[in-house]
């Protein structure tokens, strides 16, 4: 069961993380929140040269080394040009569906200064009938911050290379356990890992637990690649979102996962196939702990597990996924129960993993 107190505590952390700005390569605000939340539940932590947070919770000695990875970064926008009237042209950081961008409010960051703006486009009443049928390309969009000249923009500290995110608050939907906001990919995974560490704060376990909050996943799993090399884990777990396509206009066979049915234990995505014995261990633990779960086969996408798997001599990996609707949009939707259950599954896995399990992973 997931208690109301657990959901409330989880929501508070998720809201702080989601509303922070953390575009790939610029995860500074998110890192501050993570460090604040984990400092009293891990034995030590450090930030590596790429910006990953690597936190260690020590085990009982001579136990297996687990790397649990949750990426901190979100997709965003980057300024490419400032015209003489103060409009900003931009490109995407990470993978965007361009059809959602026109008409959005944004926050443009210039150091510690945040400037609100809107994404504008050619007005519809000036479009030809053919143009109205088409998705407006990103190169034809611009950000309007209310400036009247390029000098005004520069006085604010905004320049080529400044980053922007969509402007959204995390809120509950209709007083339910469903919540919506931006950057749940993957701030909910980050929150679930933090919450799991809090569940483990007074628990003894054999394993050495390396919780790694990675950077630059959205542009090619960069943070997981270097941190896995440094940690040298015996086993790796990624915690990330997956698509919940349980909505109108999508056939049930294409749903992948559903909200409210528990976290998903990934079988395969475009980046890797979960180690079969590790996957079965997660299933066994979920059933023992009475944690609802789903099995996930995702046609596209990848997680940090794909990078951890091929580190050094190879690492058995699996992914625990949190179902999420409308991924890579400012209105992502998830169920708090699924996310808390993901934390409980992670914590149970840590408590039960032993050296014997690691040996079995390499047996025929």
Residue 316 tokens, joined: 């058995």
Q: Rounded CA gap, 245 and 263, in Å?
A: 14
Residue 329 tokens, joined: 């949009």
Q: Rounded CA gap, 190 and 329, in Å?
A: 18
Q: 152 an active-site residue? A: no
Burial of 95 (0-12, 13-18, 19+ CB in 10 A): exposed
Burial of 48 (0-12, 13-18, 19+ CB in 10 A): middle
Non-local CB neighbours of 179 within 8 Å, separated by 6+ positions? 11, 14, 170, 171, 172, 173, 333, 334, 336
Residue 301 gets the label, from left (phi > 0), alpha (psi -120 to 50) or beta, of: left
Q: Rounded CA gap, 302 and 87, in Å?
A: 35
Helices (H), 70-149: 129-132
**In this structure, are residues 272 and 104 in contact, taking their beta carbons and an 8 Å threshold?**
no
Residue 196, H or E segment = helix 184-199
**Helix-then-strand count for the chain, H and E:** 10, 17
Q: Rounded CA gap, 189 and 13, in Å?
A: 11
Non-local CB neighbours of 111 within 8 Å, separated by 6+ positions? 157
**In this structure, are residues 351 and 200 in contact, taking their beta carbons and an 8 Å threshold?**
yes
Which of the following is catalytic: 6, 19, 74, 217? Answer: 217
Residue identified by tokens 């000695």 is: 61
The catalytic residue positions are 217
């Amino acid at each position: 069961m997931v208690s109301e107190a657990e959901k409330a505590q989880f929501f508070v952390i998720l809201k702080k993380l989601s509303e922070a700005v953390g575009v790939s390569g610029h995860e500074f605000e998110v890192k501050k929140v993570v460090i604040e939340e984990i400092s009293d539940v891990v034995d030590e932590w450090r930030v590596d040269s790429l910006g990953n947070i690597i936190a260690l919770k020590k085990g009982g000695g001579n136990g297996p080394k687990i790397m649990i990875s949750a990426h901190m970064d979100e997709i965003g926008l980057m300024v490419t040009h400032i015209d003489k009237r103060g409009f900003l042209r931009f490109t995407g950081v990470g993978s965007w569906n361009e059809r959602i961008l026109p008409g959005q409010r944004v926050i443009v960051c210039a150091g510690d200064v945040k400037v609100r703006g809107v994404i504008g486009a050619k007005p519809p009443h000036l479009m030809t009938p053919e143009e109205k049928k088409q998705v407006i390309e990103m190169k034809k969009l611009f950000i309007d911050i209310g400036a009247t000249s390029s000098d005004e923009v520069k006085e604010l500290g905004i320049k080529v290379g400044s980053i922007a995110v969509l402007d959204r608050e995390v809120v509950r939907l209709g007083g339910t356990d469903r919540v919506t906001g931006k950057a749940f990919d993957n701030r909910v995974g980050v929150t679930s890992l933090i919450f799991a560490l809090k569940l483990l704060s007074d628990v003894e376990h054999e394993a050495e637990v390396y919780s790694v909050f990675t950077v630059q996943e959205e542009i090619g799993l960069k943070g997981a690649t270097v941190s896995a090399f440094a940690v040298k884990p015996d086993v790796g777990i990624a915690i990330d979102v997956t698509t919940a396509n349980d909505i109108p206009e999508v056939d049930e066979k294409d749903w992948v996962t559903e909200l409210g049915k528990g976290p998903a234990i990934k079988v395969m995505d475009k980046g890797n196939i979960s180690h079969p014995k590790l996957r079965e261990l997660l299933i066994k633990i979920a059933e023992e702990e009475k944690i609802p779960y789903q099995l996930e086969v995702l046609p596209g996408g990848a997680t940090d597990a794909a990078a951890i798997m091929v580190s050094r001599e190879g690492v058995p990996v699996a992914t625990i996924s949190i179902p999420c609707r409308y991924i890579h949009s400012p209105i992502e939707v998830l169920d708090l129960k699924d996310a808390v259950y993901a934390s409980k599954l992670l914590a149970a896995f840590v408590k039960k993993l032993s050296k014997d399990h690691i040996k079995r992973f390499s047996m025929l």
